[in-house]
Every structure is written in C-alpha cells, then in structure tokens.
Structure 1
Amino acid sequence: MAIVLTILKRLGYAAGLLLAVIVLNFSMIHLAPGDVADTIAADAGGATEETMAAIREEYGLDQPFVVQLGRYLARVATLDLGQSYFYNRDVLDLILERLPATLLLVVSAQLVALIVGTLLGVYAARNSRGIISHLVTLFALFGYAAPVFWTGILLLIAFSLKIPIFPVAGMVDVTVEDGWFIKTLDIAHHLVLPMFTLATIFFALYSRLCRASMLEVLGSDYVRTARAKGLTPREVTLKHALKNALPPVVTLAGLQFSAVISGAVLVETVYSWPGLGQLALTSILARDTPTILGILFFSALVVIIGNLITDAVLRAIDPRLRGQA
C-alpha cells in the first residue's frame, strides 16, 4: 500500500510540474516579440494592417492572454497540440514522426556515457596514482570544456571527410533497401558520431563523480573490513564499493537528462539528424508557435519521465530510500 501511495504521489508531482512547464512555456512564447502574422507578412513582402488583423483573428491571436492560455490547456488535455503554421500539419503528427530519432540519440548517448564514464571512474579510483587515472582526468576536463557543437564539427571533419569511416549526415542511407537487419546496421552506422559527440561531455561528468565517490567509499570502514576478511579486490569493488558509489552518479544522470535533450538540438543540427532538434530550429525561424510549444511539451515530458525512472533506479540500488515518500 505504501508503494502505491508513493507512486501516486510521484505521479501527482510530475503532473503538477508538467502543468507548470506548459503554462510557463506558453507565457514566454506569448511575451516574445512577433507572431505568425509577422512571418506571413514578411514572406509575402508586406501586408496592410487589415490583413494582419484578419490573420491574427483567424489564428485566435487577437484574444486576451488568459483566453488563449485556457484554450491551449484544454486542447493539450486531449493531446491536441494544434496545427503547424509552417508545415500545415498536426503538431502531434510532426512530433511523433521525429521523436523516435531524438529518443534513439538521447537514450543511447546517455547509456553509453553512463556505462563508460562509470567504468572509467571505477578504474581511475582503483588506480588513483596511475597514469590511466591522470589520463581519465585530462579526458574528462577536455570533454567538459569543449562545446558539443565544436566537438561534433571536429569529429565530422576527421571521420567523415578526412577519413571517410562514417556518414556525413542523416540517419539512413536511402540506397539501402535490404531487410530490417541491414537497415538497423545502417542506422547504427549513422548513429555512432552523433551519439559519441553528445556523450562526450557526460563521460566527463560521470567519470569524475564516480572516481570521487569510489575513492570515498574505498576508504570507508566496511570496505576495510571486507578486505580484512580476505575478499579479492574485484569482489570488494563490485559487491561492496560500487553499489554504494553509484547513487550520486545515477542522481546526476537524472538531473542531466534535460541537458542531454538541449545538447541533442545542437548535435542534430551539426549532423542533420532528423529529430526534434531540427524541427525546433525550423519552427523557431518560422515563428511556428504551436510546433515550438509542442516540442517544449514533449521535451519536458521526456525529462520528467527520465527523472521518475532515475528515482525508481535509486530506490532499487539503495534500500534506505524505499521507505521514503
């Protein structure tokens, strides 16, 4: 029963947070200068005041802010995100069409960064005075300091132009017409550079935090007791130290999920990855308000779900958290 109440409480918090994000996004877009009428007028080379007023009336932009917000919330409650001004399609269809590509990039980059960063951190902690530990530190500092778009451009030049190992852009090769296995390999081939680019900065965070956490745990009393009992270094690390060093890393992974989403926008632009990032950039340039709001809504939803999953993983790792609300 306590578990059910905890789940319901977490879902309530998530729903409240999502509502607050929707209202904030709508308010910020409303306060920004310009609207779709300005964009249409600019594309047409100019328009009279009467034409501008007619356009705003057609799209409901002449209504008070509270009325517009109320109508938008009512539509979102039924998953009606409106019609795209630029693409002339349902926003929900546009997002669902691009969402799988973004989720593939974001989830794979997060998993690779988390696994590799944790392994590097553990190795660096076990050999804190070795050269590998110093190399991990240098790599972490470089990964954290380098802008993700700059790293992407360098990798693109190095491994797509100078050494043509990976594709230059896109997600699939249109000439590939074989079965699903070949198509999956083709997508994976296109995914390598964008995924590694997005994961680079998070390698740094996870490896440094895991190293610091492992060094603290390895110096604790229960680890010294485990060593005194004759356990091998591998058993001490995997069965005792790592499990207690992981919670800070998992917590950071959940907190960084929003940063992964925002970083994906830049990575998708560099590699022409057909995800929400490219859709967001086009929509912003076209002042396509419904599409922008829809992308922000789904981005917030993905981040909230990611944090709920992180909370569940933390409770599975650390039994002390299971009784907390």
Structure 2
Amino acid sequence: MKKYLFKRLFQSIPILLGITIMTFSIMQLAPGNPMQTMINPKITSEEMEKAQENLGMNDPIYIQYFNWMKEVVQGNLGYTIKTGQPVGKVIIERLPATLLLTGTAFIMAFVIGVPLGVYSATHRYRLPDYILTVISFVGISIPSFFFGLGMIFIFALQLGWLPTSGMVTIGADYQGFALFMDHLKHVIMPASVLALPTVAVVMRFTRSSLLEVLNQDFIRTADAKGLSKRVVYLKHALRNALIPVITIFGLSIPFLFGGAYITEHIFNWPGMGSLGIQSIVAREYPVIMALNLFTSMLVMFGNLLADVMYAWADPRIRY
C-alpha cells in the first residue's frame, strides 16, 4: 500500500503542473484585465500603465507563469489586486464556513442516500421503489438555484421556520449550545440544496449495485443457510455493493466544493464559493487561480481516497 501511495503521489506532480498551465492560460484568455475594474477619473493613463508594469502584466506570458509558479511552490498564492491581501489568508478565512457547509452536505448525502438505495433495492418494482426513483430523477434534474429559492420562499418567508441567509444571526451574541443551534438553523437549507443531487446519485448507484449483488450465487447460498434478511442484505450484500458507491464518495468531495459556488451565493454564505463569485466579478485573477488549484487538488485527493477505500470494501483488491 505504501508503494502504491507513493507512486500515486509522484504521478500527481505532472498532473498538477498541467492543471496550473491550463488554469493560467484560461485566465490569460479571459477578456479585459483586473486594472479595468480600478479605473476612476483621478487615475491618468500613465499611472495605469505604471501600475500594470509594477504588477508584471506587461511581461511575456511565460514569464508571468513562471513568476506565479515560483511563488506558488514557496507557498505564496499571490496577492489580491484591489486590497493587496495575501490570497492564502483570504482563502483560509473563508475555508471554515465552506467546510461546515460541504461537510454537512457530505454527511447528509450518504447518510440519506445509502439507506434509501438499500430500501429501494429490497422493495424493487413496488410502489416505494417507484416513488424513490421519481424523487431521485427530480433531485438530479432540478437546478440548485431554483431549489434553493424555493426552499427560501417556503421555509423562510412563508413558514418562518429558518433564516433566509447568512451563517449566524446578525446582532446575536450566542454562546455554547445556543450558538450551535443558530449555526444549525442557518446551515440546514444550503446543505440540503447542496446535498440533493449527491443524495439522488448515491441512491441510484446503491440500488443498481445492490440489485446486481443480490443475484449472485453467494447471496443465494447465504439465503439457503437460513440467515436473516437483515444479515444477508447488510453484512453480505451491501459491503460488496459499496464499491461503485465509493467512487462517488471520493468524487463528491470536489463536486460539493464546486456546487458551493451557486449555493453560497444564493444563501449569502460567507465561504469560498461566495469568494469565487466575487473574484470572478472583480477579475481577481490570483484568487481565481488559487481556488482552481485548490479544487483540482481536491479531485486528486478524492480519487486517491476512493482507491484506498476499495481495499477496505473488497479484501480481494491488492495494490
């Protein structure tokens, strides 16, 4: 296993290098430049040109890329164009809020999706199976912004059960359990919106994989031995059916972070998604590139985590 992990980490180096080249190239192809968002009548064209020169925007593209990579390797992700703050500091300030949202959505997706998939498979071609199938297709198809606005309208504006936006109640000085409950009230709706597509996908994958396993010989043997349905389904069938679901487990990590862009914007959640939207509007290229690099690393980490978990789910797998 150690040799396999080392090999995968070594293979990640050229992949990361290619990602940085693509990210930097896409930013160069974007229309305009960050200086255009800072124009005001008091700045002369000479001062604007001097500012661009100081920021290195007039250097050849390959020089700009190598200068950026040199700083990234040293742990410096650059500085914001408007405020001059370190990009790493800005991202770290937003990271806890995003981790709270995506972590809650991640737990919801698998705690809800796997049991529903098992229930659907064990009641196949019956009314509950048909109802869950329809719900899963709706969950996959419905746009997150529409679902989010619908939840705000129903649960916040009409029923008044939950707050419309934000992470904490403004002006409140909660402590301890009261603060936890306040966070919980604020995170329920955005986490539900973020988790819905993953719940639907996990449920469908669990159902189809479990149905395939239930038709295999070792399941019929377990049935013939007189084992209870609970033991057959949960101990023998489900573990073997989890391998396709583990793939979703790993890949859902970057998917949730990517989906947080729209969800955080809708609910005014102060995380990395909101930061990404603001950076795109303000053409804060260093922040955008840092966020893309962070998401790319999450994709590779998710794939590696899924491969490692395969060995836990199926002892026949060897690396």
Q: TM-score over 0.5 for the alignment?
A: yes
| Secondary structure in 1 matching 2:316 | helix
Q: Runs of 5+ in structure 1 lacking a partner?
A: none
1:67-98 CA-to-partner distances (Å, cap 9, x unmatched) read 11111111001110111013331111100000
Residue matched to 1:4: 2
Cα drift, residue 140 of structure 1: 0.3
Out of 141-150 and 109-118, give the one that drifted further: 109-118
Normalising to structure 2: TM-score of the pair? 0.95
Residue matched to 1:38: 36
CA distance in 1, matches of 2:90, 2:83: 9
CA distance in 2, matches of 1:5, 1:138: 45
Asked if 1:231 is matched to 2:227, the reply is yes
CA distance in 1, matches of 2:92, 2:232: 46
> Residues 87 and 290 of structure 2 are in contact (CA less than 8 Å); yes or no, is this contact kept in structure 1?
yes
Choose which of 16, 19, 23 in structure 2 pairs with 1:18: 16
Percent sequence identity is 35
Normalising to structure 1: TM-score of the pair? 0.94
Residue matched to 2:192: 196
Cα drift, residue 234 of structure 1: 0.2
- AA aligned to 2:33 is D
Residue matched to 1:311: 307
Cα drift, residue 47 of structure 1: 5.8
Asked if 1:161 is matched to 2:169, the reply is no
| Secondary structure in 2 matching 1:242 | helix
- Go from structure 1 to structure 2 and tell me whether the alpha carbon gap of 1:306 and 1:116 turns closer, same or farther (over 3 Å shift): same
CA distance in 2, matches of 1:259, 1:87: 30
Cα drift, residue 183 of structure 1: 1.5
CA distance in 1, matches of 2:285, 2:229: 57
- AA aligned to 1:269 is H
- Structure 1 segments (4+ residues) deviating >3 Å: 45-49
Cα drift, residue 148 of structure 1: 0.8
- AA aligned to 2:295 is S
- AA aligned to 2:21 is V
Choose which of 104, 110, 125 in structure 1 pairs with 2:106: 110
| Secondary structure in 2 matching 1:175 | coil
Q: Runs of 5+ in structure 2 lacking a partner?
A: none
Cα drift, residue 177 of structure 1: 2.2
CA distance in 2, matches of 1:6, 1:290: 34
Choose which of 144, 148, 151 in structure 1 pairs with 2:144: 148
Choose which of 134, 137, 140 in structure 1 pairs with 2:133: 137
Residue matched to 1:259: 255
1:224-243 CA-to-partner distances (Å, cap 9, x unmatched) read 00000000000000111000
| Secondary structure in 1 matching 2:108 | helix
CA distance in 2, matches of 1:40, 1:20: 31
* CA root-mean-square deviation: 1.6
> Residues 86 and 283 of structure 1 are in contact (CA less than 8 Å); yes or no, is this contact kept in structure 2?
no
Q: How many residues align?
A: 319
